[in-house]
Amino acid sequence: MKTQNADQNRIEQKQTLRKRRHAMAFATYLVPVSLVVLCWSQGLLPEKVIYHVAAAVLLINLTILILIHTNLNLKFRDPSMTAAHIAVSSIPTLYVMYFLEPAQARSIFMILLVVAVIYGILELNTRRFLMACLWIFSLYCIMLLALWRKKPETLDWSLELIQMVAFGLTLLSMSIVGGYISNLREKLRSRNQELQKAIEKIDKLVNIDPLTEVSNRRRLFEVLTQETNRCNRAETLFSICLLDIDHFKQVNDTYGHMAGDEILCHIACSISEGIRNIDAFGRYGGEEFLLVLPQTRLAGAVVKSEKVRCQVAGLRFPDISGDIGVTVSIGVAQYRPPEDIDTTLLRADRALYAAKANGRNRVETEKNQTAVT
């Protein structure tokens, strides 16, 4: 469950980042739209082009936003849709260029096409960069062909040839350089992931008990220190439950230490799956475990301890013996500020001793009173 939550959080973070990138890209559309209006004001474009470009910009960005918001983009091979966005966004620009008769004016919008390609650095590798640039260059050639057929008088082929070669070489250079930078970003991302895994592994070695794979004593004392400081600072409260497996030495003597280790692991896994996210549970030492319950009074801790006691009593270990079962005795104490945490642990230990003295498989509070029999 925790792994699924972590994966979901990572997906949400990536989707949020994609929305931010899309917002940045959407803001850049103000430049070509403003230029279109400026060209219209100078009599270079018909008024209808303004409405067509504005409608295309809204349609493109709204579609991308809906795909990200509904997570439909996650079904695509490229969830960021960078290549698709570049390819589609080039169409309104080329549409404007078709209506611009002066070649010098069209060259201004060619620069905007190059700027749009720059966004590929965020995601595209060299091959996909080349494909996106080839798409744009092909559309550009189709636009020139349409001008030659419909409005040949607007073309100065000597100038158009120079612009075509320059545009093609620029896109090719952008593909090579952009793909190289994107590959470097991917390598850096991969190294960061490896570093994160190494940090998590080190953290596990430092804070996790290697046998039971729950928190170790060191980590438990870190949590206790945090809760103590929080309690002293914010006047909150917490309780602790000290658990000990009854007659564990007899289990080891009868079935062997490997069987004892299996029982420890099974109990630890069962208890850790039933606690809250804010709770902390770990191996305190030997066959003892400690459960830290933030924001929980003594009475609530007793109720939780009783649930744990019944949970453990219901466990069976068929791989060891068909009818073998174990029980736990639990001592419960509530932290009393501003006492030292060792004092709280001592009261929980005394309550645990009382539980064992009163017959085991029971919960006792710090006041040495029977909570549940």
Structure tokens at 310: 């019944």
Tell me which of 85 and 137 has the higher pLDDT. 137
Report the chain's C-alpha Rg in angstroms. Answer: 34
Structure tokens at 175: 């593909």
Of 3-17, 88-102, 166-180, 231-245, the one with minimum mean pLDDT is 3-17
**Residue 368 scores a pLDDT above 70:** no
Mean pLDDT of the 350-356 span:
95
pLDDT of residue 23: 80
Mean pLDDT of the 160-188 span:
84
Please provide the average confidence, as pLDDT, over all residues in the chain: 87
pLDDT of residue 373: 35
pLDDT tens figures, 259-285 = 999 999 999 999 999 899 999 999 999
* Element holding 242 (H helix, E strand): strand 238-245
292 pLDDT band, cuts 50/70/90, is: very high
Whole-Å CA distances, 77 to 121, 213, 230: 17, 36, 46
Place of tokens 């006792």: 364
DSSP secondary structure letter of residue 287: T
**CA geometry: angle at 239 spanning 234 and 244, to 5°?**
155
Q: Which of 123, 227, 287, 366 is catalytic?
A: 287
**Residue 2 scores a pLDDT above 60:** no
Tallying the residues shown for the chain, one arrives at: 373
Residue 306 is among the residues annotated as catalytic for this protein: no
pLDDT tens figures, 83-129 = 888 888 888 989 998 988 777 788 888 888 887 787 777 677 788 88
3-state secondary structure 67-114: HHHCCHHHHCCCCCCHHHHHHHHHHHHHHHHHHCCCHHHHHHHHHHHH
Mean pLDDT of the 305-317 span:
93
Structure tokens at 250: 């007899």
Mean pLDDT of the 58-67 span:
89
Peptide bond into 338 cis (omega under 30): yes
Mean pLDDT of the 129-134 span:
86
Ramachandran bin of 242, using left for φ above 0, alpha for ψ from -120 to 50, beta for the remaining angles:
beta
Mean pLDDT of the 205-222 span:
92
Mean pLDDT of the 25-34 span:
82
Tell me which of 223 and 71 has the higher pLDDT. 223
Cα(151)–Cα(136) distance, integer angstroms: 21
Burial of 191 (0-12, 13-18, 19+ CB in 10 A): exposed
pLDDT of residue 4: 61
Pairing of strands 363-365, 328-334: parallel
pLDDT of residue 215: 93
Cα(258)–Cα(268) distance, integer angstroms: 15
Cα(293)–Cα(321) distance, integer angstroms: 33
Whole-Å CA distances, 277 to 87, 231, 281: 45, 18, 10
pLDDT tens figures, 148-173 = 998 888 888 888 888 889 888 988 88
**Do the Cβ atoms of 249 and 206 come closer than 8 Å?**
no
**Do the Cβ atoms of 268 and 212 come closer than 8 Å?**
yes
CA-wise closest residue to 57 among 78, 36, 38, 75: 36
**Residue 369 scores a pLDDT above 60:** no
Cα(78)–Cα(175) distance, integer angstroms: 18
Q: Which residues pair with 208 in a beta bridge?
A: 215
- Taken in order of first residue, the domains within the chain and their CATH numbers are 2-200 (no CATH), 217-372 (3.30.70.270)
Tell me which of 27 and 54 has the higher pLDDT. 54
The pTM of this model reads 0.54
132 pLDDT band, cuts 50/70/90, is: confident
pLDDT of residue 179: 78
Mean pLDDT of the 246-255 span:
91
